[in-house]
């Protein structure tokens, strides 16, 4: 099934989930089930986080429930069985020349509407066979979409290329997700090299624009919601901006009403 790039960008980007309920958004978060654990190093030790702070989790559940009750839910996210884990930090490659048509110089951030709605690769395409360069960065893995190729590990470091067509000839999005639990400097270096080769800059989940500079990208990851969650999950959840999450969810719904999946 073909998946809209617009729905992926928002869906993969702004709200955490608790226990076994499914989140519509993410900053690094998504809809597959995860159990929130005490973070680094306990996040990998198996110690479950106490849910004594019921207020924040109730608010998160309420937002998820409101989303699941929407009449657009099934059509908007049909065919999206997996999404982003809260400890993953997303980096989307945008053609720099295309962005500079909108701005005289690279902006620090761009509006949500531009990030979500603009077809960044409609006028330009990467060189044929560029996917072989991704093969050298991460190992290929099975994709759940006919119009998508995937690399890496589920809920770890991964990469993907979305295509307009099932023949995988016309690129619609190129992106990576970095595992903030075990940040790999070498992985970031290789992703930056690929972006440079393709003439791209990075768009983050918070709509920040980053040059493909290793130190800049590493600093961004280390200050991301994904890394904050690894270090302190409770405080991170409590600090989430629910108004911003609601705005993003509303934008998803607007996009899906106007551009339902085929």
Q: pLDDT tens digit string along 44-54?
A: 433 333 344 44
Residues 40 and 112 in one domain: no
Residues 138 and 172 in one domain: yes
Q: What is the mean pLDDT of each run of 10 residues along the chain (262 residues)?
A: 44 34 37 36 38 47 44 32 79 97 94 92 96 97 94 95 94 97 97 98 95 98 95 88 75 63 46
Which residue in 104, 101, 137 sits closest to 122, CA to CA? Answer: 101
- Domain range enclosing 174: 88-225
State the pLDDT at residue 241.
77
Residues 188 and 146 in one domain: yes
State the pLDDT at residue 162.
96
Contacts of residue 25, defined as CB under 8 A and 6 or more positions apart, other chains included, come to: 10, 11, 13, 14, 15, 245, 248, 249, 252
State the pLDDT at residue 67.
38
| DSSP class per residue in 96-140 | HHHHHTT-SS--SB--HHHHHH--TTSS--PPTTTHHHHHTTS-E
Which residue in 48, 40, 20, 60 sits closest to 180, CA to CA? Answer: 40
Residues 123 and 17 in one domain: no
State the pLDDT at residue 249.
73
User: How many folded domains does the chain comprise?
Assistant: 2
State the pLDDT at residue 258.
61
State the pLDDT at residue 243.
77
Residues 115 and 157 in one domain: yes
Q: Whole-prediction pTM value?
A: 0.69
State the pLDDT at residue 255.
63
State the pLDDT at residue 21.
29
Residues 72 and 102 in one domain: no
Residues 114 and 237 in one domain: no
Residues 221 and 231 in one domain: no
Residues 94 and 205 in one domain: yes
Residues 76 and 105 in one domain: no
Residues 73 and 113 in one domain: no
Residues 209 and 253 in one domain: no
């Amino acid at each position: 099934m073909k998946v809209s790039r617009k729905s992926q960008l928002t869906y993969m980007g702004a709200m955490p989930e608790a226990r076994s309920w499914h989140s519509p958004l993410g900053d690094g978060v998504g809809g597959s089930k995860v159990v929130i654990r005490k973070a680094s190093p306990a996040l990998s030790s198996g110690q479950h986080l106490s849910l004594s702070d019921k207020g924040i989790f109730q608010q998160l559940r309420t937002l998820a429930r409101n989303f699941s009750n929407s009449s657009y839910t099934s059509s908007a996210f049909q065919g999206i069985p997996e999404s982003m884990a809260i400890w993953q930090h997303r980096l989307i490659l945008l053609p720099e020349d295309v962005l500079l048509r909108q701005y005289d110089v690279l902006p620090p951030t761009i509006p949500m509407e531009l990030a979500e709605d603009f077809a960044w690769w409609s006028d330009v395409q990467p060189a044929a066979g560029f996917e072989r360069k991704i093969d050298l960065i991460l190992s290929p893995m099975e994709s759940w979409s006919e119009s998508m190729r995937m690399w890496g590990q589920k809920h770890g470091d991964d990469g993907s290329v979305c295509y307009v067509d099932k023949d995988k000839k016309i690129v619609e999005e190129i992106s990576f997700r970095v595992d903030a639990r075990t940040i790999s400097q070498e992985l970031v270096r290789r992703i930056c090299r690929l972006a440079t080769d393709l003439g791209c800059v990075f768009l983050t989940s918070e709509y920040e624009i980053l040059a493909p500079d290793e130190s800049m990208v590493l600093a961004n990851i280390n200050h991301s919601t994904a890394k904050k969650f690894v270090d302190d999950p409770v405080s991170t959840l409590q600090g989430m901006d629910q108004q911003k999450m609601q705005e993003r969810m509303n934008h998803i719904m607007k996009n899906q009403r106007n551009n339902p999946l085929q």
